[in-house]
Structure formats: structure tokens, C-alpha cells
Structure 1
Amino acid sequence: MKARIELTSIFVDDQAKALDFYTNRLGFVVKDDVPTGEFRWLTVVSGDSPSGPELLLEPNAHPAARAYQEALVADGIPCTSFAVDDVRAACTELAADGVRIATEPMEAGPMVVAVIDDTCGNLIQLMSRQP
């Protein structure tokens, strides 16, 4: 058996706000946006890989989801990581656009990492390989 990542999800406190952040700030593109009653089946993909893994922007409506999300943020733990070409440049661009940089770019072995606030209840790690 060979498993592959087809879909993963993050909890968000507001799907519309999440859609704006993930598309307009991080450059993802909408793959699916399907009404499902009160919420939506809302997935985004990398603009560089439209048939690649999908990220589900999942409502944190369940109390356990909210508790999990809040506990991660309280402890300063990112819920996921995304690769970018240059973390330092990405943070400069995001900060100029009003995004809170929770942890400034720093070297971590062969990587440069930083943590940003996605405005939807999560900390997100950005990473890039050192030049």
C-alpha cells in the first residue's frame, strides 16, 4: 500500500474570512465551494498544483475542535506548515499587508521558518530551504 495526501483540513472560526486570507494573502485558489447547510465544503489548493492536495477550511463548530484550536494557539503551536520560496520575503509582504507575524523568520537547520496568524484562529508555520 502507498498512501498519499489527497485532503487535509484545518479548523477555522469563519469560513468567509478564511477564504479571503488563504486566497488573497497566501495565494491558494478555490477548488471546491459547495453549500452544506449552515457551512460549506470549502477547499483550496496551491496555484502551482491545482490537482494536488486540497486544504479543507473546516468550521470549528464542534466544541472539541474549538478547544483543540485554542489550545494550540495558547501554546504557540502552528496547526500546519506551508512551503514558500523565501520565508523572509513572504513575511515582509504579509506584514506590509497587515498580517501578524507571530514568530519572525529564523534559521532551523537547513530551513528558515516563521509563524503567522491566519486571522481565523490558527498559527501557521511558513518554511523555505536555506539558499
Structure 2
Amino acid sequence: MNRRLALVTVVVADYDEAIAWYTGKLGFQLLEDLDQGRKRWVVVGPTDGSAAALLLARASNEEQRSRIGNQTGGRVGFFLHTDDFWRDHAAMSACGVEFLETPREEPYATVAVFRDLYGNTWDLLEPKQ
């Protein structure tokens, strides 16, 4: 059996604002943007679509709006692996990405926590070999 995690939903306030942030600040690609009438199917990802990507889902009611930016109860919920931490940290910092800590060396990776457009927390990390 061949299975993989394909998409993770991130609840957003506005499709175009979220697309601009994830593509402009993180360098993700817009993989899909399909108009479905009352909503859109919007997928962004750091690759060509061969790895897990984000489904950007605009909040459609008050309960969903209350989850924007806090989908994991304040825990780091997303992990962006890189093959060059310092290159990506510098590029993201130059684009205005807010890092919440100084980069640190851990036994498993070089890592720093950052916040996305809506306040969700992410780890940027370069795993150790």
C-alpha cells in the first residue's frame, strides 16, 4: 500500500491575502486555485506538489473565524524542513517573516519558530544528517 499525507487545512481570513503571504514570504508555489462558486479550492506548497501542501480554506462562519491563527491551541503546528537553514532564515527574515526566537541548535536540527500571516506558529528546521 502506498499512501502519503497530501494536504493540511489552514483556515484563513482571505484567499488572496493568504496566497500572497505564503508565496511571497515563504516562497511556496500556488499549486491549485479553482473557483467552486461560494468557495475556492486553493492549494499552496513549498514544492511541485509531490509532498504535503496546504489547503487554504476561508473561514465561512464565526466558529471557523475563531480558529484563524490558533488552529493548534498555541502549539507549533507546522514544520517546514529545509536543506539550508541559514539561507532560508535570511530570505524569510528579509521578507518580513516574524521569528519568535533566535535560531538554536538541537540534537535533531537547526531550528527557529516563526509566525505566519495569521499567527499560526511554525518551525523552520534543517534536520541533522
TM-score, normalization: structure 2?
0.79
Aligned to 1:89: 87
Unaligned runs of 5+ in 2: none
Fraction of identical pairs, as percent: 27
What RMSD over aligned residues (CA atoms) do the two structures have, in Å? 2.5
Higher helix share: 1
- Residue 97 (structure 1) shift: 1.6
- Residue 72 (structure 1) shift: 5.4
Distance in 2 between residues matched to 1:73 and 1:103, nearest whole Å: 19
Higher strand share: 1
Unaligned runs of 5+ in 1: none
Distance in 2 between residues matched to 1:30 and 1:99, nearest whole Å: 19
Write the mapping of 1:22-61 to structure 2, written as runs, cut at 5 A.
Answer: 22-47=22-47, 49-61=48-60
2:22 is paired with a residue of what secondary structure? helix
- Residue 108 (structure 1) shift: 2.4
Aligned to 2:123: 125
Aligned to 1:15: 15
Equivalent pair of 2:11/2:67 in contact (CA under 8 Å): no
Aligned to 2:105: 107
TM-score, normalization: structure 1?
0.78
Equivalent pair of 1:87/1:114 in contact (CA under 8 Å): no
